[in-house]
Structure 1
Amino acid sequence: MSSITEIISHGEIGAKNAGRNVVIIDVFRAVPTAIAILEQKPSVYYMTSDENNVRSSKPDFVRIGKPFMGSNVHYDAPNSPTRVSEFDLHGQNIIHRTAGCGSCLDGLLDAKNVLLCSISNIQATRYFMDKHGGKWDIIAAGHQGNKPVEEDNLCARALVSEDSIRHIKTNMHRLKNSESLLRFSVESDEYPLSDVNICLSTEQLPTVIFAIKTGNLWKLEVHDK
């Protein structure tokens, strides 16, 4: 059985203090977007927080994310599971910039096994952790990797609970006043309201996401059970 750290750390600062086995949680919306991308089986998929990596990516890469404030870097789709699902990404090369999850990845100093988790893959993630064993650090990414948010905290607490899904369903009402929800609307291209249902769905997927350091990027892969 794994020995999961009861103390939940936050953002990039928490990542810098993490050990060898790490789970990074980002509910709105990096991990659900990553799941939507990986389900389409891209050729290669990288995540980063540094827009310079996007700027220098090869012309054949599909760029996912949001321009840094004042930036003129072009992106093909926002950090949205709804929007990336509208693209045919099978066999494509993907680079995904996200300030929250990406900055936590970039902040890791000594990690060997890094998993990305959200609500829809929480059971698969926990199962892998228990099977692997050892001590695991839980990082709730938060807004842009520096401001804690309730949805990531809820998911983190659920991950270390005895019954993850029951914990989420019992405490989902806590998110009704979350500032994160104020961004979404039916009319928004960047924050479509359908993302909320995707990100908060408790229907489970068997997706265990590994993040592997590759140069100054993080390569995301689905763990082959």
Structure 2
Amino acid sequence: MSSITEIISHGEIGAKNAGRNVVIIDVFRAVPTAITILEQKPSVYYMTSDENNVCSSKPDFVRIGKPFMGSNVHYDAPNSPTRVSEFDLHGQSIIHRTAGCGGCLDGLVDPKNVLLCSISNIEATRFFMDKLGGKWDIIAAGHQGNEPVEEDNLCAKALISEDPIRHVVTNVHRLKNSESLLRFSTDSEEYPLSDVNICLSTEQVSTVILAMKTGNLWKLEVHNK
């Protein structure tokens, strides 16, 4: 059985102090977007927080995310599971910039096993952790990798509970007044309201996301059971 750290760390600072086995949680919206991308079976999929990596990517790469403040770098789709699902990404090369999850990945010092988790793959993630064993550090990414947010904290607490899904179902009502939800609306291209339902859905997928450092990037893959 895994020995999960009871203290939940936050953002890039928490990532820098994490040990060898790490779970990074980003509910709105990096991990749900990653799940949506991986379900389409891309040829290769990288995540980063550094826009320089996006700029230096090959012309055939599909760019997911949004420009860093003040930049005019082009992206093909925002960090949104809804918008990403509108693309045919099968066999494509993907680079995904996200400040929160990507920043936490970039902050890790010497990791061995890195998993990405959200509500919809929480059971699969926990099962993998217990199967692998050892001590695990839980990092709630938060907004931009700096500010703690309720939804990541809820997911992190659920992950270390005896019954993750029950914990989410029991406590998800606490998010109804979350500041994160204020960004979403039906007519928003970047923050479509449908993302909320996707990100908070307790319907489980079997996607265990492994993140592996490759040069300046993090390669994301689905663990094959």
Q: Indicate the TM-score class for this superposition, using the shorter chain for normalisation.
A: over 0.9
State the 1:154 CA deviation. 0.0
**1:203-222 alignment to 2 at 5 Å?**
203-222=203-222
- State, as a whole percentage, how many aligned pairs show the same letter: 89
User: How far does residue 19 in structure 1 lie from its aligned partner after superposition?
Assistant: 0.3
For the pair 1:116 / 2:86, whether they are aligned, the reply is no
Provide the rounded CA distance (Å) in 1 between the counterparts of 2:171 and 2:91.
39
**Residue in 2 that maps onto 1:179:** 179
2:125 aligns to what SS in structure 1? helix
Match of 1:83 in 2: 83
User: Using the alignment, how far apart are the partners of 1:77 and 1:41 within structure 2?
Assistant: 17
4+ long deviations beyond 4 Å: none
What residue number does 2:21 align with? 21
- Specify the code of the residue in structure 2 equivalent to 1:12: E
Q: In structure 2, list runs of 5 or more residues that go unmatched.
A: none
The aligned residue for residue 105 of structure 2 is 105
- 1:138, CA displacement in angstroms? 0.1
1:138 aligned counterpart, secondary structure = strand
Query: Take 1:152 and 1:208, find their aligned partners in 2: how far apart are those partners?
Result: 18
What RMSD over aligned residues (CA atoms) do the two structures have, in Å? 0.3
Which amino acid in structure 1 is aligned with residue 149 of structure 2? V
Q: How many residues are aligned here?
A: 225
Q: Which residue of 2 aligns with 1:126?
A: 126
Structure 1 residue 211: Cα displacement = 0.2
Is 1:191 paired with 2:191? yes
Gaps of 5+ in 1: none
Secondary structure of the 1:37 match is: helix
Cα distance in 1, alignment partners of residues 99 and 168 from structure 2: 25
| 2:190 partner letter | E
Partner of 2:45: 45
User: Following the alignment from structure 2 to structure 1, what is the Cα–Cα distance between the partners of residues 174 and 14?
Assistant: 23
- 1:168 counterpart residue number: 168
TM-score, normalised by the number of residues in structure 1: 1.00
Secondary structure in 1 matching 2:174: helix
Cα separation, 2, equivalents of 1:173 and 1:70: 36
Deviations 1:56-86 (A, max 9, x none): 1100000000000110100000000000000
Using the alignment, how far apart are the partners of 1:35 and 1:172 within structure 2?
20
